[in-house]
Amino acid sequence: MDTQKLAQLLFPKILKTPDYYEALYPPRRLADGARVTRFAPSPTGFLHFGNLFTCLVSYKTAKSTDGVFYVRVEDTDQKRKVDGAIEVMLKGLSVYGITPDEGVLDEDEQFGAYGPYYQSERKIIYQTYAKSLVAQGLAYPCFMTAEELDDIRAQQENESIKGIWGLWAKHRDLSLEEIEANLAAGKPWTLRLKSPGTPEGKCYFDDMIKGKIEMPENVQDVVLLKSDGIPTYHFAHAIDDHLMRTTHVVRGDEWISSAPIHLQLFKLLGFKPPKYAHVAPIMKEENGGKRKLSKRKDPEAAVTYYAEEGFPSESVNEYMLTLANSNFEDWRRMNKEEALDKFPFNLKKMSVSGALFDMVKLTDVSKNVICKMPAAKVFDLSYAWAQEYCPALAALYEQDKARATAILNIDRENKKPRKDIAKWSDIPDYISYMYDETFVPCYDLTGNATPALAVKVLTNYLDAVNLNDTKEEWFDRIKGLCAGIGCTPNVKEYKQHPEAFDGHVGDVSTVIRVALTGRTNTPDLYEITRLLGEEAVKARLTAALAHYKEEN
């Protein structure tokens, strides 16, 4: 077979050779150890939390070595293409601080010397390499029809090795004349790899996450170009990651079973293979077992979920690092104030079997992140969230932004800030009693606080309350009420002689807290009182008093 002639026959319009592209995209000049990684989404418009996670791992891999991180859009499947998808996905990434150094930066903006970064614009490059493989006798046109392939699939049901290989590869050895006749008859063809693999052969590689791997080598004559001349993932991956000089391919571990195909392709194409880091999917616990975080079943599988709920991106990033590196939490304990990008990210510390998504943990992490934020930041971020997702909260804020910020500052900006807020959508409930519009009275009491005691406390406090008090004066005033109503200002004393009192200062505060907020547990009551203002305070105390009188 004259393979040169065949190559010319199949690709008459391809005039360049691989050498041209090798020179056009030379090895990158980077410092030793600098890693080049990428994110290669298909433009489906949906960003799965697992994709974001894998992308973060890829990004960190590059950034922790002063390398390059780029975005390549894998849009060879035009049927699956969704308009505006790239923008949605890139925006999704940028929210989490993942900004590419090169590649696709926006729907119609790409930047960098290794482009184009849309696969749909690289057809001629793939065909150049395809032509070269045919010329070397390493690829051939296959004219099998969809029916024939279905038939083979059915016949192979019980075979251990499936696909087009060995005797099933019916068009592997067609003569030039047969091929010419098929082409002349206008029969559609795909280009298949002439795999040199054998069923006994092995493929070895050292995955950066999974460690040493041994698999059967590839024997299949996989499709390289589909009948429309568009490459398959396998072929495009080899060409692109080679020409874009990717050093580390970080991708989902659903691709691990294809790694033997890819390594074989790299070899036959004469490329140095990249290092692989196969990231296990994020898992979820269910009924005592584990399953993958699912787009269909789990709202938190969509990256948009976190923005909608109002989890700050800092929290999600922090949480993703707890999932990514087993030593992250120790590092955090030792470096409480350090910025996240100071964390020495390490692929070797990734979970081999899949990190477990845990909403309780995310909530906890987020509370810790938010409690350290100054009030102005909490206000700004939650206001931005509210404008998009909660107009009612935005409207409350807009009544008086300084007051709203002061409310958010209660028990904040101190050594032991409270951890009430995990996400911005917690705020409407958290501050509801600070606004008459959203305050819901509830007069349930705890401890020694009874309706009878409440009547006494409120009657006296209504006379005594003074919004100009300092915190000390305020507390003295509450303590001062105790003696006159059978309580003690001293909790210790109460514990020693409970029979001698109707309650202690804590019970007195509870009555006032419940009257003002409808809750038994709130942040600092002095600040709440001050920020509620005289009118609201008196009105609520009066309403509560009337309620307890009735209940008595």
Give me the residues that bind ligand GLU (CB under 6 A), please.
Answer: 40-42, 74, 237, 251
Instruction: Give me 9's structure tokens.
Output: 């026959």
- Which of residues 91 and 538 has its CB atom nearest to ligand GLU in the complex? 91
Burial of 139 (0-12, 13-18, 19+ CB in 10 A): buried
Q: How many residues does the chain have?
A: 552
Q: Which contiguous run of DSSP H or E holds residue 503?
A: strand 503-504
Q: What DSSP character marks residue 504?
A: E
Shortest distance, position 231 Cβ to ligand GLU, whole Å: 12
- Which of residues 60 and 237 has its CB atom nearest to ligand GLU in the complex? 237
User: Cα(187)–Cα(185) distance, rounded to whole angstroms?
Assistant: 6
Shortest distance, position 211 Cβ to ligand GLU, whole Å: 20
Which stretches within 229-358 are classed as H helix? 233-243, 259-269, 304-309, 313-324, 328-334
Shortest distance, position 182 Cβ to ligand GLU, whole Å: 32
Q: DSSP labels for 12-61? A: TT----HHHHHHHSPPP---TT--EEEE---S-S--BHHHHHHHHHHHHH
- Which of residues 239 and 541 has its CB atom nearest to ligand GLU in the complex? 239
Shortest distance, position 424 Cβ to ligand GLU, whole Å: 30
Shortest distance, position 425 Cβ to ligand GLU, whole Å: 30
Could you tell me the strand order of the sheet in which 36-39 lies? 36-39, 68-71, 102-106, 109-111
Q: Which contiguous run of DSSP H or E holds residue 513?
A: helix 505-517
- Which of residues 233 and 475 has its CB atom nearest to ligand GLU in the complex? 233
- Which of residues 237 and 367 has its CB atom nearest to ligand GLU in the complex? 237
Shortest distance, position 41 Cβ to ligand GLU, whole Å: 5
- Which of residues 37 and 128 has its CB atom nearest to ligand GLU in the complex? 37
Which has the closest alpha carbon to 421: 365, 359, 338? 365
Q: Residue of minimal CB distance from ligand GLU?
A: 251
- Which of residues 50 and 417 has its CB atom nearest to ligand GLU in the complex? 50
User: Cα(390)–Cα(376) distance, rounded to whole angstroms?
Assistant: 19
User: Cα(204)–Cα(216) distance, rounded to whole angstroms?
Assistant: 9
Shortest distance, position 50 Cβ to ligand GLU, whole Å: 10
Shortest distance, position 236 Cβ to ligand GLU, whole Å: 9
Q: b/e map of 261-288 (b: 16 or more CB within 10 Å)? A: bbbbbbebbebebbbbbbbbbbbbeeee
- Which of residues 14 and 277 has its CB atom nearest to ligand GLU in the complex? 277
